[in-house]
Amino acid sequence: MTLAAETVTLNVPSPTLAAKAFVLRDANTGGLLAASNPDMPVEPASLTKVMTAYLAFEAVKQKRLSLTQTLPVSHKAWKVEGSKMFIDTTMTVTVDELLHGLIIQSGNDASITLAEGIAGSEELFATLMNKKAVALGMKNSHFVNSTGLPDPTHTTTARDLSILANALIRDYPQDYARLYSQKSYTYNKITQPNRNRLLFLDPTVDGMKTGHTESAGYCLISSAKRNDFRLISVVLGTTSDNVRAAESQKLLNFGFQFFESKLIYPAAKAITRQKVWKGKESEVDLTVARPVYLTLPQGEYANMKANVRIAKPLEAPLKAQQTVGKIDFTLNNQVVHSVPLVTMQAVEASNIFSRMIDQVRLYLQ
């Protein structure tokens, strides 16, 4: 998986927040728009459950679990401290119910039950968490449990959490939409509200997850979408529930106020035609594999330039969707985003005589 460059966009100073660390990520490009102490090690508390949910969604997608499947509740899950969905060892709970308990009620018991159902034990599940963290590009995270209960070696960073949140929304958009915006959930006749206050305060916020321990402070990952512009904020180490909500709202509002995001190129539409040597066709259309959005400070689109770069002369044979170059987007002579260019169609090699002629022409260029 190719990760977008994480450059803080030019000429817009970051806001000041009452938090130990924060990150504002643009979901369209993957870039950072604001940050403070983004790589400072922190305890993630229940923000850990975003990774637990990601792996649960993955297990369902790969048919290792199904939403209607029931899982047994272990003594460990039943007795765990902290927030719960209130399940016990006499119950068998469906995966879908556990996901609701995990995401909306922040149930530690739901988290352990899912972890044991996926990996056999919470300890083995932690190894899956760490492997996935590496695969997603989370360079400074180490998980030892599925819940986020305090452990000195259970750490992450604001940057890594924003990568994880972005990946979950990107890779499992239907699961995200179905679960993370729910304001309450009732299980076993016990109704608990979603602890994400922004769901009740800002109609454009549709997730994501709160966290709190005495050592971590009050933390919140939140995401909002206005038109086609989605932002992900991570605010860590505030002093209260009210403060984490207020500072997260401030960070989201900052992003929407000072930046705009536009679709530059749709996927699978020809952007440029390039010469092909030694092929049955003399030219090939190039495009982008995914829609390309660009997020810039308000009013800067007029100053943006797109430069097509082909690494070397294109020679047949070429496969469809083969990466052959890239487009660099520059602002004030600085590259702010790059995307790969791929071929729209395959080009077969020509006969030996045509290839010999083109080889000579290439040599003389």
**H or E, element range at 229:** strand 229-238
Instruction: Quote the CA–CA distance of 111 and 5 in Å, as a whole number.
Output: 32
Q: Which residues contact 288 (CB under 8 A, 6 or more apart)?
A: 265, 267, 271, 327, 339, 340, 341, 342
Active site residue ranges: 46, 49, 106
**H or E, element range at 208:** strand 205-213
CA distance between the termini of the chain: 36
Are the C-beta atoms of residues 280 and 350 closer than 8 Å to each other?
yes
Instruction: Quote the CA–CA distance of 213 and 221 in Å, as a whole number.
Output: 15
Q: What is the DSSP letter of 303?
A: G
**3-state SS assignment for residue 231:** strand
Place of tokens 């006499």: 90
Look at the alpha carbons of 111, 114, 115, 121 in this order and tell me if their dihedral is positive or negative.
positive
By CB atoms closer than 10 A (0-12, 13-18, 19+), residue 303 is exposed
Cα-atom radius of gyration of the chain, to the nearest Å? 24
Q: Distances from the Cα of 217 to the Cαs of 18, 82, 154, 198, in angstroms?
A: 12, 15, 15, 18
ω before 317 within 30° of 0 (cis)? yes
